[in-house]
């Protein structure tokens, strides 16, 4: 319980005169009034006991995603004035990377910082909240759908009603398009990747299987060891910084940027529902809105690091960085249609999520694409010859 602030009355100084002249009386009254106003206006500082939430991520301690989770925690801690603290732990500290949702449901964890693709094995509709088909909108516009286009209600229906999970969740940080990934030989056509043992997650697994790849789903920390043992031939993870930090450039040298396999993903912030709802309403609001604040902070950190690490991969590690051929991306779009159609027929909720996203994308994508400047032309105007596509 918050303590009441003690208000101490100021007593007259010992020996002060018992009567004053009119001028002194008015002056004293004004001073006392001013002091009274100042006392009332003083901020009421909460002395409530600090609540600490244990949040585990799905990321290795060295991953930039762990820094992004900490950015979220820092904002919660500061915005709550110390009443709410989040203790951020890396993958494996308490449970495995793919087990954080179950741990939140069971109350083993208070919270988790993850992506919904990691639990798509429970219901493939999970992947639609970040790693589903691309309808012409980006990750920021998909988060906007979640907030304003009905996505939150559909997410709650999936998680709380259909899966009966005792969790509360929302989304933060619209990730840039994820690269197609790392290959021993530079692929120039879809035939070049067919038959490869390829790491990915979520519905991207279904997509790449439809394209003829043999898919293995692994957490980020297990990718390079799997590549070194020959368990996989090629892989994608997320971005140049994460990829460089876990040593992708040490096992393979061809890095293909641009893809439709995961072009709209965002972080998922989840909380044990009972724990979340036990908090005061203002603390619940802080947990939610700190995600929006972290969205901006994460993006700034990403742009600074991703761009620098991409240059380091090229100039220091000798990586061959290319844009994924248009023919492969066209094959991905066709494969998305093949993957999604039967899932829509067999799952009413999956169908309604897809229809909701397409309705949103048709309107929002039209505005965005009609209105966006030609950034590529502007870049080439000032930096001619840099781009190779």
Q: Identify the helix (H) or strand (E) that includes residue 284.
A: helix 281-315
> What is the spatial distance between Cα 319 and Cα 249, in angstroms, rounded to a whole number?
7
170-204 pLDDT, tens digit per residue, is: 999 999 999 999 999 999 999 999 999 999 999 99
* Mean per-residue pLDDT, 14-34: 40
Question: Is residue 306 predicted with pLDDT exceeding 60?
Answer: yes
Whose tokens are 């641009």? That residue is 258
256-274 pLDDT, tens digit per residue, is: 999 999 999 999 999 999 9
Q: Which of 85, 86, 4 is nearest to 47 (CA)?
A: 4
* Mean per-residue pLDDT, 349-374: 98
Cβ-contact 171, 268 below 8 angstroms: yes
Q: What is the CA radius of gyration of the chain?
A: 27
Question: Is residue 43 predicted with pLDDT exceeding 50?
Answer: no
DSSP strand pairing (181-183 vs 254-257): antiparallel
Q: What are phi and psi of 371, to 5 degrees?
A: -95, -25
Helices 326-346 and 348-371: angle between axes, nearest 10 degrees = 140
DSSP strand pairing (254-257 vs 320-323): parallel
Q: Which of 224, 299, 308 is nearest to 67 (CA)?
A: 299
Q: Which of 332, 387, 325, 389 is nearest to 188 (CA)?
A: 325
> What is the spatial distance between Cα 356 and Cα 361, in angstroms, rounded to a whole number?
9
Cβ-contact 101, 112 below 8 angstroms: yes
**3-state class of 243 per DSSP?**
helix
pLDDT of residue 219: 87
Q: What are phi and psi of 115, to 5 degrees?
A: -135, 150
> What is the spatial distance between Cα 133 and Cα 140, in angstroms, rounded to a whole number?
15
84-102 pLDDT, tens digit per residue, is: 999 999 999 999 999 999 9
CATH topology of domain 51-175+265-303: D-Maltodextrin-Binding Protein; domain 2 (3.40.190)
pLDDT of residue 220: 82
> What is the spatial distance between Cα 319 and Cα 323, in angstroms, rounded to a whole number?
13
């Amino acid at each position: 319980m918050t303590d009441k602030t003690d208000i101490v009355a100021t007593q007259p100084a010992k020996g002060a005169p018992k009567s004053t002249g009119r001028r002194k009386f008015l002056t004293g009254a004004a001073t006392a009034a001013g002091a009274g106003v100042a006392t009332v206006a003083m901020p009421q500082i909460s002395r409530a006991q600090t609540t600490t939430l244990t949040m585990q991520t799905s990321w290795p301690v060295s991953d930039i995603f762990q820094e992004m989770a900490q950015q979220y925690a820092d904002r919660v801690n500061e915005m709550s004035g110390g009443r709410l603290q989040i203790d951020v732990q890396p993958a494996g500290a308490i449970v495995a990377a793919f087990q954080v949702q179950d741990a939140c449901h069971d109350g083993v964890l208070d919270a988790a910082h993850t992506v919904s693709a990691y639990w798509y094995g429970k219901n493939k509709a999970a992947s639609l909240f970040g790693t589903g088909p691309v309808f012409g909108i980006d990750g920021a516009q998909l988060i906007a759908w979640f907030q304003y286009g009905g996505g939150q209600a559909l997410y709650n229906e999936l998680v709380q009603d259909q899966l009966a999970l005792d969790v509360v969740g929302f989304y933060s940080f619209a990730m840039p398009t994820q690269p197609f990934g790392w290959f021993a030989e530079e692929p120039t056509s879809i035939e070049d990747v067919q038959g490869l043992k390829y790491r990915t997650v979520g519905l991207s697994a279904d997509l790449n299987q439809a394209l003829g790849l043999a898919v293995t789903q692994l957490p980020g920390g297990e990718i390079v060891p799997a590549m070194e043992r020959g368990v996989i031939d090629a892989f994608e993870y997320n971005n140049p910084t994460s990829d460089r930090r876990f040593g992708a450039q040490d096992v393979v040298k061809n890095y293909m940027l641009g893809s439709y396999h995961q072009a709209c993903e965002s972080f998922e912030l989840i909380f044990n529902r009972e724990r979340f709802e036990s908090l005061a309403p203002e603390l619940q609001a802080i947990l939610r809105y700190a995600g929006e604040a972290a969205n901006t902070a994460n993006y700034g950190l990403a742009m600074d690091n991703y761009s620098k690490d991409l240059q380091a991969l090229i100039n220091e590690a000798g990586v061959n960085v290319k844009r994924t051929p248009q023919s492969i991306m066209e094959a991905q779009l066709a494969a998305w249609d093949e993957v999604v159609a039967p899932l829509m027929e067999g799952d009413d909720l999956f169908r309604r999520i897809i229809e909701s996203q397409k309705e949103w994308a048709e309107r929002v994508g039209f505005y965005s694409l009609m209105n966006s400047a030609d950034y590529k032309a502007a870049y080439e105007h000032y930096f001619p010859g840099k781009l190779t596509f």
